[in-house]
Structure formats: C-alpha cells, structure tokens
C-alpha cells in the first residue's frame, strides 16, 4: 500500500486535518472517538483517509468508551489514539488513569475549548491542569503544548513515538484556534527524514501455547496491599524521573540579557514572540520562555534563565492561573517576582502583552 | 479421595480461588473454562474482568487476561476485538458493571452488534462493596442501601438484561440467561456464546443467575432456595435470541 505522505509536501490546511495526516504518517492503526467541538474534523479526515489507507475507526457511545476502547486496542498491540476537548477530556480522565497505571501508550490530541463545564466551543488554555495532572494518579504523563500547525504535525508523530518508547500516556495539547484555522506547513514522510517510527507490540494474544511455550499474561491495575501499590508507584515515578532529561523541550527567545521574562505556552507564545520583537525594537530588555513539554516541565532551564539577571517574570495564559500553578511548583525557591496576564477562555494578542510589560516597567 | 477435575484453562497457581464459600462465580467460571477447553480456544481467547467480585478472577485462567475498571470491561474488549478480530474477546462482569455503571457500553455494544462475548453474573447485589442495591435486586429484597427492602416506587423495577439486549441487538446475536442451579445448561449457553463469536455472527451475551450467601446472609439451604425459587421465578431462564438452529 502506498504511503500517505511521501517526500515533503507544502500544504495549507486546518490543524485538525494536520493531526489526521500526522497520525497516518506515524502509522497509527485505529482511532476511537466521540464528537465534541473543536476536535471533530480530526475524525472527519481520519474516517476518509482511513478508508483509503486501511486504518480503523469507531465512533463510540461516549468519551469514556473512546478512551477504554483505545486501551483495549493498545493491549492487543495496535497503535490506537483518540482526540477530545473540554467535557470530553474530563470523561477521558478515567481511561487515561488506567493507561497510566498499566503503562498503556495511549495518545490523545486535546483541542482545548472554554471552560468550566461546556464553556465555549471556541478556544482556551484551561485544560492544562486536567491534561497534566487529571485522574486519580500522580501525573505520570507526557504533554506537548503545540503553537503552530507545523508543530501539530511534528508533535503528533512524536507523541506516538514517545508513547510507545516510554509507555506513558502522551498528549498533544492544542486548542480551538489551532484546530480550526488554516496555516501553511510542510508534511513529510518521517522515513525520508530518517525519523524512526517505533513499532507497537501486543501485551496479550502473544505467540506460543500457554502452559507449554509461555505463561499466561495477567494484567491488572489493582493491588491487595498498600505496600504493593507503593512499590509500583515509586518504581514508575523513578522511571519517569529518569527520562525527564530526554523528554523536556522548550524555546527561549532573547533570554540572555532579559530583565523581564514572559512565560507562555501554546498558541499564546506566538503573541509573546511578536511582543518581544516589538519591545526589543523599543530598547526594552524582554525575553520569552516557552515550555513545549508541560509534563515534564523544563524547570531546570527556566531556573537557569531566572538566575541570569531576570528581574520580573510575566506569565501570560488564556486561563486563570493554570500555567502559573504549574510553574510555581516547578521553580519553588526562586525569588523572581511573578506578574500575570490571565485571560481565561479568550485569545491574547501581542498588544495585550506589550501594554502589560510596559505597565511593569513604569 | 478423588478431587474434582479443574478445567484445563484454569490457572492452577492461583487456586484455591479467592471467592467466598457458596459463591456462584466459580461455577460460572468453571462453565467458561470447560467451554473454552471443549472449543480448544485457550490460546486465542482474551479474558477481561470488571471491578467488583468479578475482579477476583483477574488471574483465574491460564488465558491472557486483563483487568479493567468498573463497568469498562465492555469497551476494553470491544477495542481489543476491533484491533485484532482474530482474538476471541470475553468480558466478565457483575450486574452493577453491566446494567448500571457500564450500561451505556453494554447497550451500545449490543446495538452495534460488536463481535464480543460478555458474561454477566447476576447475584442481585453489589457484593464486593458490601451488599448494596443492584439494578437486579428483587422487589422487597433487603440490601445495605435498601435496608427496609427494595421499593420499586422509589428505585424502579429490576433490570431485565437479556430481555433488553435481545430487543436491541442485531441479526446473528446470541442472548441467553442461565443459572448456576442448572450448570450443564449454563455451560451450553456460554459455549454457544463463544461459538457465535468464533463464527463472527454477532454480539453474544449470557446472564448467569448466581449466589451470594455472604451478603444475602443465608445458609446453604436458604441460598439455594433464594436462587431457585425467588430469583428463578422472577428471571426466566433460557435462550432469548440465537442464530443457531434448535437441534444445534
């Protein structure tokens, strides 16, 4: 069968379409999903493309089922994924928790919408807490926050690789703006860029006769004793801690001599970049730091920057302090004052950030 | 003394099993084990169990097995079957997992005619959590959350699972209700429910009337009488839908 993407192709498309193509390129086998705006077109494109490239799809009865059918398909050894938003993300925390506990490499694309509750169908950055630390667990997850369609393509492919390599639930955290707007990007065949695609492997239905060639697989996520669970959680935590250096990703702009450091993530970081360029042209020493991985958080790098002469930090987000809380726990002990520009559920443009930064230096 | 013969697909290192004396689960699981033995499908059958007492069977079989969450065994097995249709996917759950917390999964899987086999133990209460009201609790039956007896005016009538499933599922589906009081018949139903999946005909569902002397607070005689007389007269036993010819 022909590859969905060969060589490199310049395209102009929505973020949702981009994700569907990237999942094809990452050799995803099957998607389970439930309609919720603004992620619907991921399913729309996947169903059409999937028919052409022999990939599976099932629209389940709800998001709980979508998450658990993904778990079942992964246990069976297939690259399965889902996409959701808002209240759907809330419902999926249950299967995500099971995936954390059983080390199932679940991949989920989250296109954040306004909250709480049904909120808006449009845009926000209010699913940071839920995506990084949702569920009754310890946040043993990997969360990439993308800022452009090129990144949606790159990080969707990367999410499958990261999930199957490390066996932690992996999320691509986009938003309604990224989902719905059109942008140019380069789609490519990962192989043509020497990007290895990690192959899936089954946990059940293995070759060989049970009792003769092998023991049966008994997978569980519940333990009889406190101490058993304690040992399991500490082991997973140690593994997670061990891979942090390989996983953390960030971007710095004009950080070297920055006196004011603007911290933002996702699509907001593009406004921050524009604001930094404008402020620099006016001689204001401002820089930008953008965590790409929200879990694990690039705290070591941020601490280094803060210790190199930053006088004030400005955290900007389309939520009321979800990035702020994440950041505070990660840089505990640093004494740089934190200022905020918090606009829950609405877009932030460079002018918002420029005026806020100027108000800080007056 | 001759020991009773265990099915080949029972996992010996996990025996003796963890169910209470007098519990009906091991009889249902024995029927499943023997049915798998007779069909010779041990190596391609995947067993999934729910939370609740059914959880105690997570390492019961010498078959690849996975535990899930309360009510979520159905979607996990559906996902598995969709991903690898060559596997025989069997989900095992209680009346709470199937008819209450996971009812939307059961109903929609039945409507979609998913090619999985689900076996549901009906013991008229939530046993693992200490004997609360279940969707299948009989009118007047006392549980920890209906201490004066279930009043249908307040909590509705018991769920008639196979009757509901057989009315919504598609052609080729197999739906039956058996009882641990009629072991051979129950085993026959479970075997057909497996065969039906092997042939790819449609959804397969067996409810098994089961016992819970611990939470019913009954002795052996009372337990059997409750199963055969009270439950037996409320829940009719038999095949409700079958693609197999009568003589099969």
Rounded to a whole number of angstroms, the distance from the CA of A209 to the nearest CA of chain B is: 6
Helix/strand/coil percentages in chain A, nearest 5: 40, 20, 35
Contact A221 B83 (CB under 8 A): no
Chain A residues in contact with B80 by the CB 8 A cut-off are 72-73, 75-76, 204
In a domain, B106, yes or no: yes
CATH number of the domain that residue B135 is part of: 3.40.50.970
From chain A, which residues contact B within 8 Å (Cβ)? Answer: 29-30, 32, 56, 58, 60-62, 64-65, 68-78, 80, 94-95, 98, 102, 202-206, 208-211, 216-222
Across B202-216, average pLDDT: 98
**Other C-beta atoms lying within 10 Å of the C-beta of residue A84:** 25
* Token pair in block for residue A134: 């949702």
Q: Give the up-direction half-sphere exposure of residue B114: CA atoms within 13 A in the CB hemisphere.
A: 31
CA distance B108 to B89: 17
Contact A217 B87 (CB under 8 A): no
**Which residues have C-beta within 8 Å of that of residue A47, sequence separation ≥ 6?**
A57
CA distance B82 to B3: 41
| A348 burial level (CB within 10 Å; 0-12, 13-18, 19+) | buried
Band (pLDDT 50/70/90 cuts) for residue B74 is very high
**Which residues have C-beta within 8 Å of that of residue B239, sequence separation ≥ 6?**
B174, B175, B176, B189, B192
CA angle in degrees (0–180, nearest 5) for A185-A190-A196: 145
In a domain, A227, yes or no: no
Q: Which residue of B has its CA nearest to A215?
A: B62
In a domain, B3, yes or no: no
A22: left (phi over 0), alpha (psi -120 to 50) or beta: alpha
Contact B68 A71 (CB under 8 A): yes
Q: Which of A210, A218, A219 sits opposite B42 (nearest CB)?
A: A210
In a domain, A338, yes or no: yes
Q: Over the stretch A83-112, which tens digit does the pLDDT of each residue have?
A: 999 999 999 999 999 999 999 999 999 999
Mean pLDDT of all residues belonging to chain B: 96
**DSSP per-residue letters across A72-98:** HHHHTT--EEEEE-HHHHHHHHHHHHH
In a domain, A235, yes or no: no
Q: Which residue of B has its CA nearest to A82?
A: B79
Band (pLDDT 50/70/90 cuts) for residue B84 is very high
Rounded to a whole number of angstroms, the distance from the CA of B90 to the nearest CA of chain A is: 12
**DSSP per-residue letters across chain B:** -PPPPPPTTB-GGG-S-SSPTT-SHHHHHHHHHHHHHHHT-TTTEEEEE-SSGGGGGTT-BSSEEEE--TT-HHHHHHHHHHH-TTSEEEEEEEHHHHHTTTHHHHHHHHHTT-S-EEEEEE-SSBTTTTSB--TTPPTT--BTTBTT---HHHH-PPP-HHHHHHHHS-TT-EEEEEETTSHHHHHHHHHHHHHHHHTT-S-EEEEEE---HHHHT--HHHHHHIIIIIIHHHS--EEEE-SS-TT-
Number of domains in chain B: 1
Residues A186, A307 within the same domain: no
Number of domains in chain A: 2
Q: How far is residue A17 from each of residues A23, A110, A144, B182, measured CA to CA in Å?
A: 10, 14, 18, 56
Nearest CA to B235 out of B142, B134, B145 is that of B134
CA distance B66 to B42: 15
Query: Which 3 state secondary structure label does DSSP give A137?
Result: coil
In a domain, B203, yes or no: yes
Residues A34, A107 within the same domain: yes
Q: Which of B66, B82, B105 sits opposite A204 (nearest CB)?
A: B66
Whether residue B91 contacts residue B74, with contact meaning beta carbons closer than 8 Å, is answered with yes
Contact A218 B82 (CB under 8 A): no
Whether residue B42 contacts residue B15, with contact meaning beta carbons closer than 8 Å, is answered with no
Q: What is the pLDDT of residue A259?
A: 97
In a domain, A217, yes or no: no
In a domain, A50, yes or no: yes
* Token pair in block for residue B244: 């197999």
Chain-centre distance for alpha carbon B14: 20
Sort strands A182-188 and A218-219 into parallel, antiparallel or unpaired: unpaired
How many contacts does A have with B, using Cβ atoms within 8 A?
130
CATH number of the domain that residue A320 is part of: 3.40.50.920
In a domain, A212, yes or no: no
CA distance A84 to A93: 11
Domain that holds residue B196: 12-241
Domain that holds residue A19: 8-193
Q: Which of B55, B72, B87 sits opposite A68 (nearest CB)?
A: B72
In a domain, B246, yes or no: no
Q: What is the pLDDT of residue B77?
A: 98
In a domain, B6, yes or no: no
Rounded to a whole number of angstroms, the distance from the CA of B180 to the nearest CA of chain A is: 26
Rounded to a whole number of angstroms, the distance from the CA of A220 to the nearest CA of chain B is: 5
**DSSP per-residue letters across A61-72:** SSHHHHHHHHHH
Query: What is the sign, positive or negative, of the torsion defined by CA atoms of A68, A73, A79, A82?
Result: negative
Residues A160, A52 within the same domain: yes
- A193, A209, A238 - which closes a domain: A193
Whether residue B47 contacts residue B73, with contact meaning beta carbons closer than 8 Å, is answered with no
Rounded to a whole number of angstroms, the distance from the CA of B38 to the nearest CA of chain A is: 16
Q: Which parts of chain A sit beneath pLDDT 50?
A: none
Rounded to a whole number of angstroms, the distance from the CA of A163 to the nearest CA of chain B is: 18
Report ipTM for this prediction: 0.95
In a domain, B123, yes or no: yes
Q: How far is residue B31 from each of residues A187, A249, B65, B187, B194, measured CA to CA in Å?
A: 54, 54, 17, 5, 12
Whether residue A70 contacts residue A98, with contact meaning beta carbons closer than 8 Å, is answered with no
Query: What is the sign, positive or negative, of the torsion defined by CA atoms of A311, A317, A322, A327?
Result: negative
* Token pair in block for residue A18: 């981009």
Q: How far is residue B220 from each of residues B4, B124, B138, B227, measured CA to CA in Å?
A: 20, 17, 20, 11
Residue B248 has pLDDT above 70, yes or no: no
Chain A residues in contact with B79 by the CB 8 A cut-off are 32, 58, 68-76, 80
**Which residues have C-beta within 8 Å of that of residue B90, sequence separation ≥ 6?**
B32, B45, B46, B47, B48, B77, B116, B117, B118, B119, B194
In a domain, B237, yes or no: yes
Q: Which residues of B51-74 are buried (b: 16+ CB within 10 A; e: fewer)?
A: bbbbbbbbbbbbbbbbbbbbbbbb
Q: What is the pLDDT of residue A362?
A: 76
Whether residue A148 contacts residue A177, with contact meaning beta carbons closer than 8 Å, is answered with no
A82: left (phi over 0), alpha (psi -120 to 50) or beta: beta
Residue B172 has pLDDT above 90, yes or no: yes
Contact A222 B55 (CB under 8 A): yes
Sort strands A107-112 and A170-175 into parallel, antiparallel or unpaired: parallel
Residues A263, A349 within the same domain: yes
Q: What is the pLDDT of residue A38?
A: 98
Chain A residues in contact with B106 by the CB 8 A cut-off are none
Contact A68 B75 (CB under 8 A): yes
CATH number of the domain that residue A186 is part of: 3.40.50.970
In a domain, A2, yes or no: no
Band (pLDDT 50/70/90 cuts) for residue B247 is low
CA distance B178 to B198: 21
């Amino acid at each position: 069968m022909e590859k969905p993407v060969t060589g490199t192709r310049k395209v102009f498309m929505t973020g949702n379409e981009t994700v569907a193509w990237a999942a094809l390129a990452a050799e995803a086998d099957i998607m389970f999903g439930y309609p919720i705006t603004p992620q619907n077109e991921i399913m729309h494109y996947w169903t059409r493309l999937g028919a052409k490239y022999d990939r599976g799809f099932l629209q389940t009865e709800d998001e709980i089922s979508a998450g658990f059918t993904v778990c079942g398909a992964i246990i069976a050894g297939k690259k399965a994924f889902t996409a959701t938003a808002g209240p759907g993300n809330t419902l999926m925390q249950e299967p995500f928790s099971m995936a954390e506990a059983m080390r199932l490499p679940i991949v989920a694309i989250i296109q954040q919408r306004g909250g709480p509750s049904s909120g808006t169908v449009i845009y926000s950055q209010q699913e940071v807490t839920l995506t990084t630390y949702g569920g009754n667990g310890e946040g043993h997850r990997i969360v990439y926050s993308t800022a452009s369609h090129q990144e949606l393509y790159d990080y969707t492919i990367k999410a499958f690789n990261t999930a199957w390599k490390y066996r932690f639930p992996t999320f691509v955290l986009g938003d309604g703006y990224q989902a719905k707007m059109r942008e140019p990007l380069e789609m490519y065949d990962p192989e043509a860029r020497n990007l290895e695609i990690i192959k899936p492997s089954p946990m059940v239905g293995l070759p060989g006769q049970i009792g003769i060639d092998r023991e049966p697989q008994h997978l569980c996520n519940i333990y009889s004793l406190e101490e058993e669970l304690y040992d399991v959680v500490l082991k997973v935590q140690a593994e997670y801690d061990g891979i942090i250096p390989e996983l953390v990703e960030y971007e710095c702009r004009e950080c070297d001599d920055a006196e004011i450091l603007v911290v933002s993530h996702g699509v907001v970081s593009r406004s921050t970049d524009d604001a930094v360029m404008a402020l620099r042209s006016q001689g204001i020493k401002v820089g930008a730091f953008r965590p790409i991985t929200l879990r694990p958080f690039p705290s070591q790098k941020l601490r280094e920057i803060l210790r190199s002469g930053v006088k004030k930090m400005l955290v900007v987000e389309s939520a009321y302090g979800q990035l702020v809380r994440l950041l505070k726990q990660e840089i505990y002990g640093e004494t740089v004052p934190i200022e905020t520009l918090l606009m829950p559920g609405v877009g932030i443009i460079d002018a918002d950030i420029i005026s806020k930064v100027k108000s800080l230096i007056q | 003394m001759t020991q009773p013969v265990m099915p080949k697909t029972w996992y010996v290192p996990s025996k003796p099993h963890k169910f209470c004396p007098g519990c009906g689960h091991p009889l249902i699981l024995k029927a499943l084990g023997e049915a798998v033995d007779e069909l010779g499908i041990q190596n391609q059958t995947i067993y999934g169990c729910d939370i609740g007492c059914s959880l105690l069977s997570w390492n019961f079989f010498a078959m690849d097995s996975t535990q899930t969450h309360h009510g979520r065994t159905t979607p996990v097995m559906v996902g598995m079957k969709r991903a690898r249709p060559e596997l025989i996917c069997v989900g095992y759950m209680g009346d709470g997992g199937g008819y209450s917390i996971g009812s939307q999964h059961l109903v929609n899987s039945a409507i979609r005619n998913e090619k999985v086999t689900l076996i549901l133990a009906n013991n008229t209460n939530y046993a693992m959590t200490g004997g609360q009201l279940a969707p299948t609790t009989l009118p007047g039956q006392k549980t920890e959350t209906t201490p004066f007896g279930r009043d249908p005016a307040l909590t509705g009538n018991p769920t008639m699972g196979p009757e509901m499933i057989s009315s919504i599922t598609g052609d080729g589906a197999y739906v039956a209700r058996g009882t641990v009081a009629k072991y051979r018949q129950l085993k026959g139903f479970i075997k057909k429910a497996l065969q039906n999946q092997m042939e790819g005909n449609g959804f397969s569902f067996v409810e098994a009337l089961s016992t819970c002397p611990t939470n019913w607070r009954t002795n052996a005689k009372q337990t059997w009488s409750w199963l055969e007389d009270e439950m037996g007269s409320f829940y009719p036993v038999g095949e409700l839908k079958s693609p197999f010819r009568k003589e099969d």
